[in-house]
Amino acid sequence: MLGRFRSRTSKQPLTDGDKIIAAQDVVKIYETGATRVEALKEVSFSVDRGEMVAVMGPSGCGKTTLLNCLSGLDSVTSGEVWLDGQDLAEMSDKKRTDYRARRMGFIFQVYNLLPVLSAVENVELPLLVAGVSPKEARRRAMTALEQVGLRDWADHRPAELSGGQRQRVTVARSLVNDPAIVWADEPTGALDSKSAQDIMDLLRNLNEEQDLTIVLVTHDSDVGAQAHRIVRMQDGEIVGEERPERGDYVHAPADAEVVATR
């Protein structure tokens, strides 16, 4: 499988000056004993620099798998993934990890903050791992926290913060290394509507003001409606795309949306 994948990587880059993420014929198969699940079926997909894309679809449709494969958190079974002119398959685990540390930010549904570290310590982690001096890392982490409105909460541990605050810390952490791409997997999934809106406002502002590329996976059509483009998935395939008018929220349940797409 890997050989087949590698044999196709000596081609022209799929990304260029406009495209920052490009995937072509990406297949991801999970094999567990006798069970074989094709999570992604020859998915081709690209994201422009500075674009905010929402990947939507029902549970188990392969949204998160696509995000993992595109961000290099997971390997693909076949196909090509290019990030900012670099072929992911050509990169070693070490280089891919380093690339994530320097060029990517991640936001997860359950925050994934380290409970044993304070907010500022969580935020400065990517900088420390990238080799930034502790002093500089602390300065930049504080700036990032200020950006998300949590400067005064810097010394608090995650358990002492509300869900919305925790997710803001996650956003600050994803921004602190000045990334080219931010990956957000259900960033508002565990939040109440008010907190969810705060987070989305934050992401939208960052996207608009800093020209940050954001790929987010969501169930929530309100969230998706705030992206430049919605990519719809079903059973491991991209089944449609649409460009909502940003800010024009569609208050309909995710399942209804899926049915409508079908």
Q: Which range of residues in 45-53, 105-113, 193-201, 240-248 is near another protein by CB under 8 A?
A: 105-113
Q: Of residues 58, 61, 64, 79, which one binds another protein by CB under 8 A? A: 64
Verify binding: residue 94, another protein, rule CB under 8 A: yes
Contact track, another protein, 18-57, x by CB under 8 A: ----------------------------------------
229: left (phi over 0), alpha (psi -120 to 50) or beta: beta
Count of chain residues binding another protein (CB under 8 A): 37
Q: Which range of residues in 98-106, 205-213, 219-227, 235-243 is near another protein by CB under 8 A?
A: 98-106
Of 78, 132, 147, whose CA–CA distance to 102 is shortest?
132
Residue (183 or 225) nearer to another protein, CB? 183
Q: Which range of residues in 130-138, 148-156, 216-224, 240-248 is near another protein by CB under 8 A?
A: 130-138
Contact residues for 224 (Cβ-Cβ < 8 A; gap 6+): 54, 56, 218, 230, 244
Verify binding: residue 207, another protein, rule CB under 8 A: no
Verify binding: residue 78, another protein, rule CB under 8 A: no
Verify binding: residue 112, another protein, rule CB under 8 A: yes
